């Protein structure tokens, strides 16, 4: 049963993705990114849903071809039901429902955030999968939270952002510096030639396990406005140092709370997940803590960090084994708790 072939579909934001899983092994993981949003400096929901409509059939077809399977080999279909942009989710949800009905196979709804976390159980995601319980810093464009993962489907949010997500902070600060969307990976790349201690920006002083990223955005904005008044070329002349300093501040904020949580809960198994877990400084900080605090760290392979359907297929496989199927009358939902 666990070697059944399952199709996963992801369409929660601006990536249309389809993947085939057999057991815990990914046979294909295809994604079509939507370049159109670059012109607008952020995802335009209406354009995202239209692009999903155009991409979904070719992307699913490619995933079958790459996995070398036929439609009739599919034992179940998993899809992202939420959270995300409703218009985007509707495309993947409607497609998954129709295909499940026509192939007469079970439909399985997947929570996108659970999927980022459970991506760690894909065969080639890590040298070893995490053991329960573990902490997972889940950081994406829409969410930032520290999750205590007690079992596959038993998760507790210990702390979360009270305003912007960490990925959103990267993207919004990138926009201030006139970088393309999404700015996270660009800031990561430009930081490599910059001094992370060149500039300092405010860090929040929250006592709880919660995060806040709106302060750093404002702090960078005011600082840059002040400097640009004195020197109009300030951003261009200091771009690498600005990126490295912003990146350092965001990663420091993330790690301070993660370290506090791991210490207070006495947990040594610590993972990262979500788009921002692709960040090289975050990965390095995790590796440093492996030595410093004796953590067992779990860092997913790059292709399973940003939005992808492999993680959706992974969760669908786990639910398939538990016979947790979804009624065909289900609808997409923009909010979906862990």
**Using the rule CB under 5 A, which residue among 307, 309, 315, 326 binds Zn ion?**
307
- Are 133 and 150 in contact, with CB atoms under 8 Å apart? yes
- Rounded least distance, CB 173 to ligand KG4, Å: 10
Closest CA to 18 of 68, 48, 54, 57: 57
* Cβ distance to ligand KG4 smaller for residue 105 or 117: 117
- Rounded least distance, CB 311 to Zn ion, Å: 9
Choose among Zn ion, ligand KG4, none what residue 278 binds, the Cβ cut-off being 5 to 8 Å by kind: ligand KG4
Single out the segment in contact with Zn ion by CB under 5 A; choices: 30-38, 139-147, 173-181, 319-327. Answer: 139-147
Residue recorded with tokens 């912007």: 164
- Are 140 and 275 in contact, with CB atoms under 8 Å apart? yes
* Cβ distance to Zn ion smaller for residue 140 or 247: 140
H helix runs in 109-233, sequence order: 112-118, 166-176, 184-191, 214-230
DSSP for residue 301: -
End-to-end C-alpha distance for the chain, whole angstroms: 26
- Are 245 and 199 in contact, with CB atoms under 8 Å apart? yes
Size of the site for Zn ion (CB under 5 A): 2
Choose among Zn ion, ligand KG4, none what residue 6 binds, the Cβ cut-off being 5 to 8 Å by kind: none
- Rounded least distance, CB 27 to ligand KG4, Å: 22
* Cβ distance to ligand KG4 smaller for residue 56 or 117: 117
**Using the rule CB under 5 A, which residue among 93, 140, 144, 308 binds Zn ion?**
140
* Cβ distance to ligand KG4 smaller for residue 22 or 143: 143
Phi, then psi, of 247 in degrees rounded to 5: -60, -45
Choose among ligand KG4, Zn ion, none what residue 78 binds, the Cβ cut-off being 5 to 8 Å by kind: none
* Cβ distance to Zn ion smaller for residue 238 or 308: 308
Cis status, amide bond into 18, omega within 30 of 0: no
- Rounded least distance, CB 136 to ligand KG4, Å: 13
- Are 271 and 117 in contact, with CB atoms under 8 Å apart? yes
What does the block give as tokens for 203? 């860090």
Choose among Zn ion, ligand KG4, none what residue 188 binds, the Cβ cut-off being 5 to 8 Å by kind: ligand KG4
Choose among Zn ion, ligand KG4, none what residue 92 binds, the Cβ cut-off being 5 to 8 Å by kind: none
- Rounded least distance, CB 270 to Zn ion, Å: 20
Choose among ligand KG4, Zn ion, none what residue 11 binds, the Cβ cut-off being 5 to 8 Å by kind: none
Single out the segment in contact with Zn ion by CB under 5 A; choices: 131-139, 140-148, 279-287, 295-303. Answer: 140-148
DSSP for residue 161: B
- Rounded least distance, CB 331 to ligand KG4, Å: 20
Binding interface with ligand KG4 (CB under 6 A): 13, 140-142, 167, 170-171, 182-185, 188, 274-276, 278-279, 306-307
Residue recorded with tokens 């294909």: 28
- Rounded least distance, CB 185 to ligand KG4, Å: 4
Q: Using CB atoms, what's the residue nearest to ligand KG4? A: 275
CA distance 281 to 248: 7
CA distance 92 to 88: 7
Contacts for 60-63: CB closer than 8 Å, 24+ residues apart: 60/7, 60/9, 60/18, 60/95, 60/99, 62/18, 62/28, 62/30, 63/7, 63/18, 63/19, 63/20, 63/28, 63/29, 63/30, 63/309
Choose among ligand KG4, Zn ion, none what residue 277 binds, the Cβ cut-off being 5 to 8 Å by kind: none
* Cβ distance to ligand KG4 smaller for residue 22 or 120: 120
Residues binding Zn ion (CB under 5 A): 140, 307
């Amino acid at each position: 049963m666990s070697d059944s072939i399952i199709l996963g579909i992801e369409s929660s934001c601006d990536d249309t993705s389809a993947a085939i899983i057999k057991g815990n092994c990914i046979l294909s993981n295809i994604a079509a990114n939507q370049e159109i949003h670059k012109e607008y400096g952020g995802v335009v929901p209406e354009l995202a849903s239209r692009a999903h409509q155009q991409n979904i059939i070719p992307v699913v077809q490619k995933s079958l071809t790459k996995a070398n399977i036929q439609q009739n080999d599919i034992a179940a279909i998993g899809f992202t039901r939420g959270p995300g942009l409703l218009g985007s989710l509707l495309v993947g949800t409607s497609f998954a429902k129709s295909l499940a009905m026509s192939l007469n196979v079970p439909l399985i709804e997947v929570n996108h955030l659970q999927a980022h976390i459970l991506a760690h159980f894909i065969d080639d995601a890590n040298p070893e999968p995490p053991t329960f319980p573990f902490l997972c810093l889940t950081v994406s464009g829409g969410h930032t939270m520290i999750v205590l993962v007690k079992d596959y489907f038993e998760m507790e949010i210990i702390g979360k952002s009270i305003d912007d997500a960490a990925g959103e902070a990267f993207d919004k600060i990138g926009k201030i510096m006139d970088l393309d969307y999404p700015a996270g990976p660009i800031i990561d790349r430009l930081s490599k030639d910059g001094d992370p201690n060149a500039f300092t920006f405010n860090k929040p002083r929250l006592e709880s396990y919660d995060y806040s990223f709106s302060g750093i955005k404002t702090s960078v904005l005011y600082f840059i406005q002040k400097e640009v008044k004195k020197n109009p070329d300030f951003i261009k002349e200091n771009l690498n140092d600005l990126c490295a300093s912003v990146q350092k501040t965001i990663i420091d904020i993330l790690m301070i709370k993660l370290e506090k949580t791991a210490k207070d809960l006495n947990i040594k198994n610590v993972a990262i997940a979500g788009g921002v877990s692709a960040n090289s400084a975050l990965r390095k900080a995790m590796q440093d803590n492996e030595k410093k605090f004796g953590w067992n760290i779990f860092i997913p392979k790059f292709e399973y960090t940003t939005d992808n359907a492999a993680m959706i297929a992974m969760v669908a496989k786990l639910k398939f084994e538990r016979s947790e199927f979804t009624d065909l009358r289900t609808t997409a939902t923009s909010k979906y708790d862990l």
